[in-house]
């Protein structure tokens, strides 16, 4: 129903309709309004600025993003709250230093020019390197071959409308495309032009009342189905109701006052010309847009099959983990891959532009995505449209929010704790054996904002103990934490400076000390590097470690069997204090082995199921060291080597394991080898 920010019954008294639109407005009618290019030419005190005065303003970039929103809203007759909230959902008002998102979206309004993004050279990450996504010794590795994939960059006319909104904004506003890409104020004006055009095309008035703009906001999402468009619009209006304030990546403070009693005219969506959602039963919360695009379970010769295994989870085996990936490719190409029976699979893919979700594999079944069969058998995989080694191809707020809602839903349904030992990055999944460690994947990488993600999950990363708690949770401020990385574009060349979730580790409490070494990544003892894919000497936001020492601004943790130091100054901390359970070797043991999977002892295997080796990794956990504890789990192995599910078995042993945060990746130790104790 229609309403107002203060009183739904008072809408007639408080609403001022600026311009009435009956039939769909023609392009000619839009030109006088949309030809303006508003910039901040004043002090922002005047509540109204005409289109003519805005168009005569100087062309230099705005010094105040808040004023840019005000000026664009006034010039294009769009409520400021609508313009601010749409931008917040796209970018949280950041300009990302003029860089494009994964789908070629620019500026605070995420105006898309996707040919730029698609033209990047990218290899789907399951095909990159030597990791076998299935990660099971009982059959040959599944190494997808995409050498024959279509890498042609499509023409603009071949792209969906949601991927070329910048071109349309340039046509509507008269602002050159290059300025829309590079000037934040111009970008805001382009977004306002799109919203005004959508409102008129729906035959709705250019009203002062934000409640009247539900349909236009839904259309702005670029979605072509009602469910996705409605979910996007609902999110925008949630932002308007709750309000927001934030300092952007350019250091500008932007404020949106909340309107908690606003009730949008949701009925407008029926006339928006969008298709009904695709048929199919999905496992998604009602707060997201979700469609069923199934991955094939097919046999294709010589006993080989793809691209997942049928299971009976959680009845047959529990689901303990959710694994966060990035796609290393654009939406349409990724969907084509997961529908290929000779490829691999994951449960869900999330779209950058609007947070839309496609489900491919049911939660009861086991997808091939993590490179570790134990983790695959007990996890759900989420692929997010993005690129690990392109720090400026940023993830949209719409996708972060959609992902957080999906993860919250799945965690509640399957009893998965919302912490970094259960909500894993692909980069924190351990290798199964010593030989597999160097080939394990590293996505979503250092530019995924774990701090913001856990805030959206309702589990913000805060101190939970005093300085003597014995543990620390890694929690740098993402926007200002900018460690040097290399190799994003060219080997050894610096990556663009960018906010990061990663914190680097040293052998001594000084920045010119050698980096911590990882003997699993470099068996010969080679040095760790600042390479964007080198996980040997860094930790990630949300991970929890036992404190091994402090020295001024530096904190030491136990990491990969050694003491590792990171800078943690009080004025700009990179970790917060915590407390909890830790493990250490039992008395009398000088060292204990560490494992990449929690497999049963050989006596647990029934006849006909080959015994899987319990293979220790090359690391040692030494006496006196402590590591943060996750779950205590039984040894378990899902035997599924054939297309025919008849011989499939879940083997469960009597040996118990603890999951621990050992290095950048998690690991497992036998319960019989350790004692558990409080960290403090």
What are the residue ranges spanned by the domains of the chain? 8-123+144-271, 278-446, 584-678
In whole angstroms, how far apart are CA 495 and each of 192, 272, 530, 533? 33, 43, 10, 12
- pLDDT band at residue 125 under the 50/70/90 scheme: low
Q: What is the mean pLDDT of the chain?
A: 87
How far apart are alpha carbons 638 and 414 in whole angstroms? 18
Q: What is the pLDDT of residue 477?
A: 96
At 5, is the pLDDT very low, low, confident or very high (cuts 50, 70, 90)? very low
**pLDDT for 115:** 74
Instruction: Give dist(CA 69, CA 236) in Å, integer.
Output: 16
Per-residue pLDDT, 181:
94
- For the 278-446 domain, the top CATH level (class) is alpha beta
Residue 82, pLDDT > 80, answer yes
What's the pLDDT at 273?
A: 78
DSSP element (H, E) containing 184: helix 184-201
CA distance 517 to 527: 6
374 conformational bin, left if phi > 0, alpha if psi -120 to 50, beta if neither:
alpha
Q: What six digits make up the tokens of 427?
A: 């980069």
Q: What is the pLDDT of residue 96?
A: 87
* Residue 637 pLDDT > 90: yes
CA dist., res. 147 & res. 153, Å (int): 16
Which has the minimum average pLDDT: 59-63, 80-84, 600-604?
59-63
β-pairing, 357-359 vs 290-292, is parallel
Residue 293 has pLDDT above 70, yes or no: yes
**Which pLDDT does position 130 carry in this prediction?**
66
3-state secondary structure of 235: helix
Q: Are 430 and 372 in contact (CB under 8 A)?
A: yes
pLDDT for the residue numbered 581: 98
Instruction: Between 376 and 121, name the one with better pLDDT.
Output: 376
> For 135-144, 225-234, 543-552, 573-582, which range has the lowest pLDDT when averaged over its residues?
135-144
b/e per residue 634-646 (b: at least 16 CB within 10 A):
ebbbbbbeeeeee
Q: What dihedral do alpha carbons 236, 242, 247, 252 form, nearest 10°?
A: 70
Q: What is the pLDDT of residues 237-285, one digit of tens each?
A: 999 999 999 999 889 999 999 999 999 999 998 887 787 776 678 999 9
Calculate the alpha carbon distances from 214 to 236, 240, 371, 489, 501 in Å. Answer: 9, 12, 43, 41, 35
**Pick from 50-54, 318-322, 348-352, 462-466: least confident:** 50-54
pLDDT (average), residues 625-639: 97
Residue whose token pair is 């996707």: 114
Residue 152 pLDDT grade (very low, low, confident, very high; cuts 50, 70, 90) = low
Res. 210: pLDDT tops 70 = yes
Q: Which two tokens stand for residue 652?
A: 């469960």
Residue 224: predicted pLDDT: 84
pLDDT band at 392 (very low <50, low <70, confident <90, very high): low
Asked if residues 155 and 176 have their Cβ atoms less than 8 Å apart, the reply is: no
Taking residues 214-221, report their average pLDDT: 95
> Looking at residue 302, what is its pLDDT?
80
Instruction: List, for residues 421-432, the tens digit of each pLDDT value.
Output: 999 999 999 999
pLDDT cut 90: percent of the chain above it: 72
Q: Which residue has the higher pLDDT, 418 or 133?
A: 418
Residue 144 has pLDDT above 80, yes or no: no
pLDDT higher than 90, residue 450? yes
* pTM: predicted TM-score of the whole model, two decimal places: 0.86
Name 155's Cβ contacts closer than 8 Å, sequence gap at least 6.
Answer: none
pLDDT tier at 25, thresholds 50, 70, 90: very low
pLDDT category of residue 389 using cuts at 50, 70 and 90: confident
For residue 11, pLDDT over 80 is answered with no
Of the chain, the percentage scoring pLDDT greater than 70 comes to 85
pLDDT of residue 633: 96
């Amino acid at each position: 129903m229609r309403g107002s920010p203060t009183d739904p019954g008072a809408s007639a008294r408080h609403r001022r309709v600026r311009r009435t639109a009956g039939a769909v407005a023609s392009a000619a009618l839009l030109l006088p309004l949309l030809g303006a290019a508003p910039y901040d030419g004043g002090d922002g005190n005047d509540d109204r600025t005409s289109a003519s005065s805005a168009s005569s303003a100087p062309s230099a970039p705005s010094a105040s993003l808040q004023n840019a929103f005000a000026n664009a809203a006034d010039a294009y007759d769009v409520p400021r709250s609508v313009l601010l909230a749409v931008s917040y959902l796209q970018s949280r008002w950041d300009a990302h230093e003029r860089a494009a998102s994964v789908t070629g979206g620019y500026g605070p309004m995420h105006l898309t020019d996707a040919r730029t993004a698609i033209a990047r050279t990218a290899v789907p990450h399951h095909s990159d390197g030597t990791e076998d996504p299935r990660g099971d010794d009982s059959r040959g590795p599944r190494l997808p071959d995409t050498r024959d994939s279509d890498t042609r960059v499509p023409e603009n006319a071949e792209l969906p409308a949601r991927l070329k909104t910048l071109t349309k904004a340039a046509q509507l506003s008269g602002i050159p495309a290059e300025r829309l890409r590079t000037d934040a104020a111009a970008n805001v004006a382009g977004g306002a032009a799109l919203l005004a055009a959508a409102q008129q095309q729906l035959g709705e008035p250019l009203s002062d009342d934000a409640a009247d703009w539900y349909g236009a906001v839904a259309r702005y999402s670029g979605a072509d189905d009602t469910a996705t468009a409605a979910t996007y619009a609902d999110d925008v209006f949630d932002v308007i109701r709750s309000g927001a304030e934030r300092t952007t990546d350019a250091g500008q403070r932007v404020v949106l006052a909340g309107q908690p009693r606003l009730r949008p005219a949701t009925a407008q969506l029926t006339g928006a010309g969008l298709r009904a959602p695709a048929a199919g039963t999905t496992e998604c919360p009602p707060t997201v847009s979700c469609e069923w695009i199934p991955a094939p379970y097919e046999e294709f010769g010589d006993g080989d099959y793809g691209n997942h295994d049928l299971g009976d989870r959680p009845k047959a085996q529990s689901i303990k983990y959710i694994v966060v990936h990035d796609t290393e490719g654009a939406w349409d190409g990724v969907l084509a891959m997961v529908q290929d029976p000779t490829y691999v699979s994951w449960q869900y893919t999330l779209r950058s532009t609007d947070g839309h979700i496609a489900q491919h594999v049911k939660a009861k079944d086991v997808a091939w995505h993590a490179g570790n069969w134990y983790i695959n058998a007990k996890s759900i995989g989420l692929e997010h449209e993005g690129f690990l080694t392109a720090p400026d191809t940023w993830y949209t707020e719409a996708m972060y929010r959609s992902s957080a809602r999906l993860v919250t839903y799945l965690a509640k349904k399957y009893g998965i704790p919302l912490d970094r030992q259960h909500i894993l990055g692909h980069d924190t999944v351990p290798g199964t054996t010593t030989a597999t460690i160097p080939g394990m994947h590293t996505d979503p990488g250092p530019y995924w904002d774990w701090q913001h993600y856990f805030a959206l999950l309702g589990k913000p990363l805060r101190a939970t103990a005093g300085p003597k708690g014995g543990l620390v949770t890694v929690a740098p401020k993402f926007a200002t934490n900018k460690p040097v990385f290399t190799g994003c574009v060219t080997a050894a060349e610096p990556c663009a400076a960018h906010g990061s979730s990663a914190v680097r580790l040293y052998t001594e409490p000084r920045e010119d000390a050698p980096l911590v070494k990882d003997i699993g990544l470099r068996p010969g003892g080679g040095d760790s590097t600042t390479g964007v894919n080198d996980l040997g000497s860094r930790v990630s936001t949300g991970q929890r470690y036992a404190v091994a020492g402090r020295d001024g601004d530096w904190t030491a943790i136990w990491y990969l069997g050694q003491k590792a130091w990171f800078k943690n100054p009080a004025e700009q901390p990179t970790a917060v204090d915590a407390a909890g359970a830790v493990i250490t070797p039992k008395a009398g043991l000088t060292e204990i082995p560490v494992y990449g999977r929690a497999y049963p002892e050989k006596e647990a295997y029934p006849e006909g199921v080959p015994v899987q080796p319990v293979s220790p990794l090359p690391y040692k956990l030494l006496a006196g060291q402590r590591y943060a504890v996750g779950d205590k789990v039984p040894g378990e192995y899902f035997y599924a080597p054939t297309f025919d599910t008849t011989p499939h078995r879940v083997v469960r042993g009597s040996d118990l394991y603890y999951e621990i945060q050992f290095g950048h990746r998690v690991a497992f130790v036998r319960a019989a080898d350790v004692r558990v104790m409080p960290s403090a």
